[in-house]
Amino acid sequence: MSDRGNGEFWAFLAGMLTGGIVALLYAPARGVETRERLRETAAELVEKGEELVEKGEELYEKGRSEAEKAYAQGREKAAELREKADEVAKKGKAEAEKAIAKGKKKVKEIKEKIVVDKANEEEA
């Protein structure tokens, strides 16, 4: 979620609160009525603040839960990829060993042919 506009929201809220308090203080009302209005306004703001905190906590928990799920899925996928990489490496090693054995056999056959050809040349 983006923080864009977050500062403007709090500035607006602070301005609204300040304006409300100033209006109450300068309104033509008795001190008792003004103090009562201030108490009511403060109580409403506290209630709204508590609601915002609760909503924030819910969003935090939801985000944390989603992050934990993503982390677990990532670990599972990494384990699967390691397993596949090990399998491919084993197959590659086996194929390389086969190719080396085949190459050694061919080298041996060629050496034997050279020895036979040399022996035939010496006889001739």
15: pLDDT strictly greater than 70:
yes
User: Cα(18)–Cα(39) distance, rounded to whole angstroms?
Assistant: 14
pLDDT on residue 1: 45
Quick check: 124 pLDDT over 60? yes
Q: What is the pLDDT averaged over residues 30-38?
A: 76
Asked whether the predicted pLDDT for residue 75 surpasses 60, the reply is yes
Q: Are 80 and 73 in contact (CB under 8 A)?
A: no
Rounded distance, CA 99 to CA 78, Å?
31
Q: CA distances (Å), 56 to each of 9, 13, 59, 61, 70, in order?
A: 15, 17, 5, 9, 21
Contact 52, 61 (CB under 8 A): no
Q: Does the pTM of the predicted model rise above 0.85?
A: no
